[in-house]
């Protein structure tokens, strides 16, 4: 049986099922509910990739809190460009607040590092937590990046689905797929 799929010019095979993903998302949401009760955290979903993860995560958040969105871009095709662009920034103040950055994946770490710096140093957030669906520790190109909440760690392979794209395609796939070598 061949369950491979085609996205643009590449072939991908099934990697993580929706069920597997959701179990981990619920585990992380419960941990956040416990850790941040009484802090009225502001969740910041990093667009575009994290929108599906953020929706599932936030439906499992039961403590008083808010959610907002920021849009960043660093990838073209399957490679990070190393330059992180803010396409759309925040409209609300984070001064003195507990914020939770909700990101699909940490790869080189450039996007996350730049977001933490902005929120802490320039925008004055009191406590910046990092919540990611996937972590690729072997792809890291920045030092000292702390991930507070992580659903799954994966090897350094390119993936699509569940919000993640290849050249903007494939975000609608319910499961996650990995590129064929």
Tell me if 161 contacts Mg ion by CB under 5 A: no
165 neighbors 49 (Cβ within 8 angstroms): yes
Name the 3-class secondary structure at 148: coil
How would you classify residue 168: left for phi > 0, otherwise alpha for psi between -120 and 50, otherwise beta?
A: left
Comparison of 30 and 78: residue with beta carbon closer to ligand IMP: 78
Residue 154 interaction partner, one of Mg ion, ligand IMP, none, beta carbon < 5-8 Å per kind: none
CA distance 96 to 1: 54
Alpha-carbon span 103 to 111, nearest angstrom: 9
Q: Which is nearer to ligand IMP, 33 or 69 (CB)?
A: 69
Active site residue 165: no
Question: Taking CB under 6 A as the criterion, which residues in 150-169 touch ligand IMP?
Answer: 158-159, 164-165
Cα 65 to Cα 62: distance, rounded to the nearest angstrom? 8
Q: Taking CB under 5 A as the rule, does residue 109 contact Mg ion?
A: no
Which of 107, 127, 148, 157 is the catalytic position?
107
User: Judged by CB under 6 A, does residue 106 bind ligand IMP?
Assistant: yes
The answer to whether 110 contacts ligand IMP (rule: CB under 6 A) is yes
Chain residues 88-107 in contact with Mg ion, contact rule CB under 5 A: 104
Q: Does 104 bind ligand IMP (CB under 6 A)?
A: yes
**How is the beta sheet containing 159-160 ordered, strand by strand?**
5-7, 10-16, 176-179, 159-160
49 binds Mg ion (CB under 5 A): yes
């Amino acid at each position: 049986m061949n369950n491979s799929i085609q996205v643009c010019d590449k072939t991908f095979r099934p990697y993580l099922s929706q069920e597997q993903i959701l179990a981990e998302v619920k585990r992380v949401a419960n941990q956040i509910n416990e850790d941040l009760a009484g802090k009225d955290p502001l969740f910041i979903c990093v667009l575009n990739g994290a929108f599906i993860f953020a929706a599932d995560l936030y439906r499992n958040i039961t403590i008083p809190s808010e959610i907002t969105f920021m849009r960043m871009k660093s990838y073209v095709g399957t490679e990070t460009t190393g330059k992180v662009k803010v396409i759309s920034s925040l409209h609300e103040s984070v001064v003195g607040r507990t914020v939770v950055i909700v990101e699909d994946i940490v790869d080189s770490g450039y996007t996350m590092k730049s977001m933490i710096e902005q929120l802490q140093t320039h925008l004055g957030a009191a406590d910046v937590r990092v919540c990611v669906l996937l972590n690729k520790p072997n792809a890291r190109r920045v030092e000292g990046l702390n991930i507070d909440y992580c659903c799954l760690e994966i090897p350094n392979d390119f993936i699509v689905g569940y919000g993640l794209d290849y050249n903007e395609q494939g975000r609608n796939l319910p499961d996650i797929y990995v590129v064929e070598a």
